[in-house]
Amino acid sequence: MLRLILCALWLAPLSSQAAEWPAYSGDLDEFDNIQRLPSGEGPARLVLGDNNGRIHVYEERDHTYTGVWDSDYLEGAVAGVFVLDINDDQLDEIIAYTDQGRVYYFDSQDYTLLWSNSPNEYTRITSLTIGDIDDDPQPELVFCADGRLVVYDGRDQYEQWRSDQTDLTAHQILIGDVDGDDEDEIVLNDGYVFDARFFDLEWQSPEPFGERMGLLDLDEDLIPEVIGEFQGRYLRIFDIDLRREKSLSR
């Protein structure tokens, strides 16, 4: 975006009063509830989950997007949507989860329901991510449900593990090697760090990592730091291998 703004300034007329300054229009990739669908040689498609408990598919037609499919009610507001091969069949699926504890798989081509978990399995899911944390052919669902961290087999749809902790309320989960041991960790934004292979609790920070997080190596030690965003604007940096907040002053 900075490059586009600089390019616009370079090409703008010298009379700045007559120029129209470019405005940032947002980035859909920042949203958890909208994803691009595989289109092959067909028109571009998007899948979107809404607060009313439905997911919708839109297709590009004549330079605009038209709705082509709406799901039935999914028993709770849609909290996140993913598009990937979750069941190791070499085809992408639509995975959606709701804040009321439901998880759904849909075919990404004809939108048929492939699987959903039991209505009474979980009461509430506060966050969910998907990643291969055990080196088998398919990814796992990693989520916080009813105060526990849960690892769920993505292909065979069963609970592999749940934490002893019962007070976890994370709203974002990241997976990555954040302590330099060549093994991934599961990082919860409420300050917990678990080993992704053996599920040991490696660190409980005395404070959360922010409302939103990202991983980035800022000090060139080949270990990414956790970048936490607070109140939608303020950034703090956490060094997980040293178990402390990090200062970048030189």
- For a pLDDT cut of 90, what percent of the chain falls above it? 78
pLDDT of amino acid 250 = 55
Residue 13 in this model has a pLDDT that exceeds 80? no
pLDDT of amino acid 29 = 80
Q: With cut-offs at 50, 70 and 90, classify the pLDDT of residue 223.
A: very high
Q: How many helices (H) and strands (E) does the chain have?
A: 1, 20
* pLDDT digits 0-9 by tens, 44-90: 999 999 999 999 999 999 989 999 999 999 999 999 999 999 988 99
Q: Which residues contact 148 (CB under 8 A, 6 or more apart)?
A: 162, 163, 165, 166, 168
Give the whole-angstrom CA distance, residue 34 versus residue 112: 19
Q: What is the pTM of this model?
A: 0.86
What are φ and ψ of residue 26, in 5° steps?
A: 95, 165
What are φ and ψ of residue 209, in 5° steps?
A: -95, 10
Q: With cut-offs at 50, 70 and 90, classify the pLDDT of residue 5.
A: very low
Residue 224 in this model has a pLDDT that exceeds 90? yes
pLDDT of amino acid 160 = 95
CA dihedral 150, 156, 158, 160 (to 10 degrees): -50
Of 10-24, 29-43, 132-146, the least confident? 10-24
Best CA proximity match to 197, nearest among 211, 183, 208, 182: 183
Residue 219 in this model has a pLDDT that exceeds 50? yes
Residue 132 in this model has a pLDDT that exceeds 60? yes
